[in-house]
Amino acid sequence: MGLPLLLGRDFIPQEAGGKPGEFPKVAIINETFARYYFGEASPLGRRFGWGDPSKPINTDIEIIGVARDAVYGKLREKARPLIYFPGHGGAVLVARAAADPALSLTMIRQEIQAIDKSLEIFSVRTIPQLRDQELVQERLLAQLSSFFGLLALLLACVGLYGVMSYDVARRTHEIGIRMALGAQRRDVVSLVLRETMLLVGAGVVIGLSAALWATRLIASLLYGLTPNDPMTITLAGLLLLTVAALAGYFPARRASRVDPMVALRYD
């Protein structure tokens, strides 16, 4: 599996032999095992065994290496003490491929058939497929959240554009007076955009405060991401401000093109 060794050595081919039922005499442990049973002392060369505590235990398994911690059953589980023994065969074959897994699978089938034609390969899955299988719920929730998030963003854009358009239409007479008194188009655009950004800025502050308060409710649904991830929060805020600027710009540009004489007669 490519787990890096932190101490000691890897297994050698001679250690993977043995008679049926014979237990291997060497083992590699993980960091958690070493820390739990040996503390700061080096576990290399130490021996262990297991059995009924009421009877003498044969401690003839030597520790030859320490591997980095890795999850074993579930992606969300915390590291637990693990022991690795040299392979003695079994029903599962793990292969590392540098090329396309589909091409490698064909070669593996040919090699296995050359050894024993009665052996059959089934239930072939890659590590990314196994990982994705563990994250089905998270991916579904992410897709639903993305959909409803985009829907909420669309509604916010439509609502913001509608509010600003109504506000500009309501102030057409005022804008006409400003332009009649010498206000430039850029002044009108700046005025509308400034009010838009103030409104949206207040909304973003309130929304982020509510989002940070609600992070405790979604923490269990996230994997590989903290609920208050600074990058995500920053990008979300910038996205809303950008959308708000665009939604406010078009009514502002339309207001800047109002003919002052028409605006002064506007009721």
pTM over 0.85: no
Do 255 and 196 touch, CB atoms closer than 8 A?
no
Tell me the three state secondary structure of residue 115: helix
pLDDT score, position 52: 75
Do 59 and 48 touch, CB atoms closer than 8 A?
yes
Average pLDDT, integer, range 31-43: 91
pLDDT score, position 21: 55
Tokens encoding 225: 């991401």
Kindly list the domain boundaries of the chain, sorted by start residue. 1-89, 91-134, 135-264
> Which pLDDT tens digit goes with each residue over 157-176?
788 778 777 777 777 777 77
Distance CA 240, CA 247 (A): 10
**What do you get for the CA distance between the two ends of the chain, in Å?**
76
Match 């003695």 to its residue by tokens: 88
pLDDT exceeds 80 at position 152: yes
How far apart, in Å, are the Cα atoms of 137 and each of 131, 132, 202, 209? Answer: 12, 10, 34, 27
List Cβ neighbours of 221 (8 Å cut-off, separation of 6 or more). Answer: 138, 141
DSSP code for 77: S
pLDDT exceeds 90 at position 61: no
> Which pLDDT tens digit goes with each residue over 100-111?
777 888 888 888
Do 189 and 252 touch, CB atoms closer than 8 A?
yes
Average pLDDT, integer, range 195-206: 81
Average pLDDT, integer, range 1-5: 86
Quick one: pLDDT band at residue 33, thresholds 50, 70, 90?
very high
Distance CA 232, CA 239 (A): 10
Distance CA 54, CA 211 (A): 56
Length of the chain: 267
Distance CA 188, CA 116 (A): 83
Amino acid at 87: G
> Which pLDDT tens digit goes with each residue over 207-217?
878 877 777 67
Distance CA 156, CA 241 (A): 11
Do 235 and 243 touch, CB atoms closer than 8 A?
no
